[in-house]
Structure 1
Amino acid sequence: MIATNWQTVTPHKSKLGEGPVWDDRRQRIIWLDILNGKIHTYTPGKDAYSFSETGQLTGAVALTENDTLLAAMENGFFEINEATGTSTAWGDPESHLPGNRFNDGKCDPKGRFWAGTMQMAETETTGNLYVMDVDRSVYHKLSDIGCSNGLAWNSRHDTMYYIDSPTREVAAFDYDPETAAISNRRVILTIPEGDGFPDGMTIDAEDQLWVALWDGWKVIRVDPDNGSITAQIELPAARITSATFGGPDLTDLYITSARVGLSEEELEKQPLAGSLFVIRNVGVRGVQGVRFGR
């Protein structure tokens, strides 16, 4: 049984909430407001909320072994030292594409950081998917992406799941953990028109995918072996963007949402749009995300 008793984490509402990451060392949730360039943090055990500003659009962050953050932002990859408030540029593979920005990203089982881009105007498929190895070298993996989004790897480390949102597809690739090679793309799920677009994604300890649906009002649990939807969580906001597991036992599901692009009438009907939601003891355990440089 999947619990659905959601609650909001803080009163704050993001314009484009995204990229939730659970910090197991500090027992806190980190999430982003991409368009406002903000990194939010909340520590449940202390009821402590804070945020910092990056100064540019910020699509994804990952934890590192050095307890800094690795961020994929409008102008490339940056290391962010929260203690000092400083950021250090680690390179920009798309300096020749000023109309693009980084969107979602996540570390693979070997501690490499995968992150993809999208065209900010969202009129052309100029996005790409990259992987930054632990030595900071960056490799191009996929082209012709509309809006690079969710990433996940299974427990056997032989399959990578990936979402390019405009395709409405959740795809799987054969994945080699030693070389980061991906191949044999196949579609495991297509979201029908009218049901929203697949956005961010996470995976649980039973190798089931949790996919956020933009304009779909929900998160769905998907069996990647047959594409069946085995559970869903309905939420009071249309633009659900991503999810991750957190809490001491990784049994709480944190879900981000957005309010960007909604009319005043829609916002009146969705006063909680842009909130970070949590469902305590959701019924399954998650998998702790990997830190960069593992």
Structure 2
Amino acid sequence: MTPEIAVRARARVGEGPVWDAGRGLLHWVDIPAGHIHTSAPATGRTTSLSLPTQVGAAVPRRGGGFAAATAEGFASVDADGTATVRRAVLPDGERMNDAKCDAHGRLWAGSTALDFRHGRGALHVLLPDWTSRVVLDGLALPNGLGWSPDGRTFYLADSIAGEVYSFDTDPGDTVLRRRRTLVRIPERAGLPDGLTVDAAGCLWIAVWGGDRVVRVSPEGDLLAEVPMPVHQPSSCAFGGPGLDVLYVTSAREGLELADDDVAGSVFAVGRTGAVGLPSTAFAG
């Protein structure tokens, strides 16, 4: 499991990778730059949309374009980059962070204070009619999100707390029950950031400041570690024709680096022995 550069970039905070199987493309963002990138691993070509706001994540919409989690709340983004705020739910001093669609086409997104103050973070769900509600509050920096293959367990990282939580839920529902800590990462070892769940139900968690991605069982046992050539791996998603390549985003923000340092690039990890779950477009 040796990481290779899939997209050489200088993203300040690369995040939110999502594999578009129908088009064979990887979508990802640079949060503070407000960029939505679309990369074709087969050709190495990347095209970009620039938004006039921070963008924590962007996922394809069923009818084209993207649904984006932004500094204001939720926005629709046309193919030409025109962004329209559809749901302004956040006050000044906060922004949306990581986001992901569930199997029913609803977009779940974590919001955070710009200073990552504990208690100011929350988990929101955006419905296809562009209404939204808060599902969980009292967080700091809600990050990686995912569901078990049967949809009965929901996972959420709170990076500042250093924990990944699991919740019981019903497929098709947005109610979370019985929160418990699945993984705790000591601060000295990094912070749990973005994550993805494979077809076997195991979690792959990018460890920001920890130079690695870890694979964890549904019971919280450490199964494998993938050393990364960057200090701040930020998120991951399975892609490729067989959903067997792990794509890992990374960040340059806050680091003193040479111009040619690979931080901020997207990496591809093959031969993991795992297969991912297909992504779902936003249904709105």
TM bucket, shorter chain: over 0.9
| 2:51 is the alignment partner of 1:57 | no
Partners in 1 of 2:77 and 2:233 — Cα distance?
26
Secondary structure of 1:109's partner? coil
Shift in Å at residue 270 of structure 1?
9.0
**TM-score normalised by length of structure 2:** 0.96
Q: Does 1:272 find its partner at 2:270? A: no
Bigger mean CA deviation after superposition, 281-290 or 105-114:
281-290
More displaced 10-residue stretch of structure 1: 155-164 or 40-49: 40-49
Matched, 1:88 2:81: no
Q: For 2:8, which of 7, 11, 15 is the aligned residue?
A: 11
SS of structure 2 residue aligned to 1:88: strand
Report if the CA contact (8 A) 1:22-1:30 is conserved: yes
Letter in 1 for 2:122: N
Does the CA contact (< 8 Å) of 1:19 and 1:200 recur in 2? yes
Q: 2:283 maps to what in 1?
A: 293
Report the Cα distance in structure 1 between the residues aligned to 2:223 and 2:269, rounded to whole angstroms.
17
What one-letter code is carried by the residue in structure 2 that aligns with 1:31? Answer: W
1:205-225 C-alpha deviation (Å, 9 max, x unpaired): 110000010101000000022
Query: Which of residues 24, 32, 52 in structure 1 aligns to 2:21?
Result: 24
Q: For 1:134, what is the secondary structure of its paired residue?
A: coil
Unaligned runs of 5+ in 2: none
Residue in 2 aligned with 1:221?
215
1:45 is displaced (CA, Å) by 2.5
Instruction: For 1:272 and 1:44, locate their aligned partners in 2 and report how far apart those are by CA, in whole Å.
Output: 17
State the match for 1:260 in structure 2. Answer: 253
Paired with 1:11 and 1:182, the residues of 2 have a C-alpha distance of: 38
Q: Does 1:242 align with 2:232?
A: no
Q: Is the 8 A contact 2:51 2:81 kept in 1?
A: no
Within the candidate set 186, 191, 199, 2:193 is matched to 199
Q: Identify if the C-alpha distance between structure 1 residues 124 and 170 changes in structure 2 by more than 3 Å, giving closer, same or farther.
A: closer
What amino acid maps onto 1:234 in structure 2?
Answer: P
Q: Separation in 1 of the partners of 2:260 and 2:138?
A: 34
Which runs of 5 or more residues in structure 1 are unaligned?
none
Is 1:149–1:162's contact at 8 Å kept on the other side of the alignment? yes
- Give the % identical residues: 36
Deviation at 1:228, TM superposition (A): 0.9
Match of 1:166 in 2: 160
Q: Distance in 1 between matches of 2:164 and 2:17?
A: 19
Secondary structure in structure 1 of the residue aligned to 2:189: coil
2:116 and 2:160 in contact (8 A); partners too:
no
Deviation at 1:184, TM superposition (A): 0.6
CA distance in 1, matches of 2:178, 2:234: 27
TM-score (norm: length of structure 1):
0.92
Compute the RMSD of aligned alpha carbons. Answer: 1.6
In structure 2, relative to structure 1, the CA distance for the partners of 1:222 and 1:117 (3 Å cut) is: same
The 3 A distance-change label for structure 1 pair 193 and 163 is same
SS in 2 for 1:151: strand
The 1-side partners of 2:44 and 2:118 are apart by 42
Pairing 1:177–2:174 present: no
**How far has the Cα of 1:269 moved from its partner?**
11
* TM superposition shift of 1:101: 0.3
Matched residues in 1 for 2:224 and 2:233: separation?
Answer: 16
Q: Deviations over 1:102-128 (max 9, x none)?
A: 000001121111001111122443111
For residues 223-271 of structure 1, the C-alpha deviation after alignment (integer angstroms, 9 at most, x for no partner) is: 022x111011101111111000000110111001111111x3xx24992
Deviations 1:27-73 (A, max 9, x none): 01111110111111111223321111011100011122112210000
**Change over 3 Å in CA distance of 1:269–1:86 after alignment to 2:** closer
Deviation per CA, 1:161-202, whole angstroms, max 9, x where unpaired? 011111111100111223311111011111123110100000
Q: Could you tell me which residue of structure 2 aligns to residue 42 of structure 1?
A: 39
Separation of aligned partners in 1, 2:229 and 2:27: 21
Aligned-pair CA distance for 1:157 = 1.0
